[in-house]
Amino acid sequence: MTEYDYWKIFPRMPRKVTIGDITIRDGFQHLEKFISTRAKIFYLEELIFAGCRNIEVTNLGNPYLMPQFSDAEELLRHLRSQRFKDRCARKGINYDDLVLTAITIREPAVDRAIRLKEQGVGPDRVLMMVSTEEAHHFANSGCTLPEYWEESERCIKKCRDAGIKMCGTVSTIWGSPIGGATRLEDAVEFTKRWLEIGADDIEHADHDGSASAPEVYRYFSMILDEIPDTRLHIAHFHETKRVASASVLAALQAGICHFEATMGGLGGQPANFLDDCPVPGTGEYYYNDPRYVGLICLEDLLVQVDEMGIAHGYDVDRILWLGRQLERTAGHRLRSEAIINGRTLKEGHPRFARPGLAKRKAKRGERPDQNLPDGWGAAAVLPEHLRR
């Protein structure tokens, strides 16, 4: 007989997941429009109030390159303020459960994070990133891979002394927009290297939407066979071909229980134009259409896992409302389908019903719950040639 219990078919699949939000950092870095500090604070607060506990706040790199983050310290100071802590307490949120992350791709940004930590406003966690394909890595960091590994090892030691956690990201796992095909085995080895030099957790990143569901399942199965502690692993998928939800499902089936997303599916390569002025960013864009480069959409992801019966800790309706506000902030339609169509309602949509059904059944002498003609058998009988 076929096994119908999904969790028996995929025994590693979690019953509960953690979904971190990276809208304010990865999402906004791609916009060619400066999002005001007030708006950033609004969305940071609302995401936390709606259930987010792992949130990327900003990028501590050089604001000359990415002026979207010229207000980085102001955002961190707000989230460390007593006023915000008091608001969390009034809403029943344990402030100590929050993990505030800042991106620090290079050592000067790590040093900046440590200085802010010493002032009492720094992040809990920072992130550095390697790509398994060196041309992509060089485009992002300006370093060779050996050079960057040495820098990362130094930075991890500094962060550990300062009481800051380090996330090591592995990118181009399923392919590179510059170098093409890559090997999953290289990403597994890079994951081990991060942990060897002291990283606290690993972001496994599909930064250009190259992943396919079978390869996602294969990769994360390889990872968990080698490093089975699921607390160490975070899945980061971009949506370029409308197949990322399949990648999420494949990662769940493999046993991954920590994901990242952005509202509206925002995100991608840092903008090289902001408001009315060209800016350095990370150079020329390596995609064809800026509408199709962002991450998996938080609103849609929450609906997906919620309707699978997987616990996630968010107020889904509040996030759907927040997604509608973000479209007004961004000034254009974003990529969430759920903010338009909502969740599957168990009670249906009675307002769409055609009137007169009850009256017609009564006229025909049918019971209100009758679905079959009188005289039909209690159960269907298949024709003999269709029976097993």
Question: In the prediction, which pLDDT does 283 show?
Answer: 86
Q: Is 372 contained in some domain?
A: no
Cβ(170)–Cβ(191) below 8 Å: yes
Q: Is 120 contained in some domain?
A: yes
Q: Model confidence over 188-233: pLDDT tens digits?
A: 999 999 999 999 999 999 988 889 999 999 999 999 999 999 999 9
Cβ-Cβ contacts under 8 Å for 335 (sequence gap 6 or more) = 239, 264, 265, 266, 291, 294, 297
Q: Is 91 contained in some domain?
A: yes
* Residues 34-43, mean pLDDT to the nearest whole number: 98
Question: In the prediction, which pLDDT does 345 show?
Answer: 82
Question: In the prediction, which pLDDT does 207 show?
Answer: 85
Q: Is 287's pLDDT higher than 90?
A: no
Q: Model confidence over 317-347: pLDDT tens digits?
A: 999 999 999 999 999 999 999 999 988 888 8
* Residues 63-67, mean pLDDT to the nearest whole number: 95
Question: In the prediction, which pLDDT does 177 show?
Answer: 87
**Stronger pLDDT, 350 or 298, i.e. the higher one:** 298
Q: Is 309 contained in some domain?
A: yes
Locate the DSSP E strands across the chain: 18-21, 54-59, 99-103, 125-131, 165-171, 201-206, 233-237, 258-261, 273-274, 277-278
Q: Is 80 contained in some domain?
A: yes
* Residues 270-288, mean pLDDT to the nearest whole number: 90
Residue 165 lies in domain: 6-341
Is beta strand 273-274 parallel, antiparallel or unpaired with respect to 277-278? antiparallel
Query: What percentage of residues in the chain have a pLDDT greater than 90?
Result: 89
Question: In the prediction, which pLDDT does 343 show?
Answer: 86
Question: In the prediction, which pLDDT does 34 show?
Answer: 98
Measured distance CA(137)–CA(139) in Å, rounded: 5
* Residues 18-41, mean pLDDT to the nearest whole number: 97
Q: Is 364 contained in some domain?
A: no
Count the Cβ atoms, other than its own, within 10 Å of residue 172. Answer: 29
Q: Is 359 contained in some domain?
A: no
Pull the structure tokens for residue 338.
Answer: 């759920």
Question: In the prediction, which pLDDT does 288 show?
Answer: 79
Question: In the prediction, which pLDDT does 195 show?
Answer: 98
CATH number at residue 16: 3.20.20.70
Q: Is 207 contained in some domain?
A: yes
* Residues 84-100, mean pLDDT to the nearest whole number: 98
Q: How many structural domains is the chain composed of?
A: 1
Q: pTM score, two decimals?
A: 0.94
Q: Is 88's pLDDT higher than 80?
A: yes
Q: Is 75's pLDDT higher than 90?
A: yes
pLDDT-based confidence at residue 12 (cuts at 50, 70, 90): very high
Cβ-Cβ contacts under 8 Å for 258 (sequence gap 6 or more) = 17, 18, 19, 20, 230, 231, 233, 234, 235
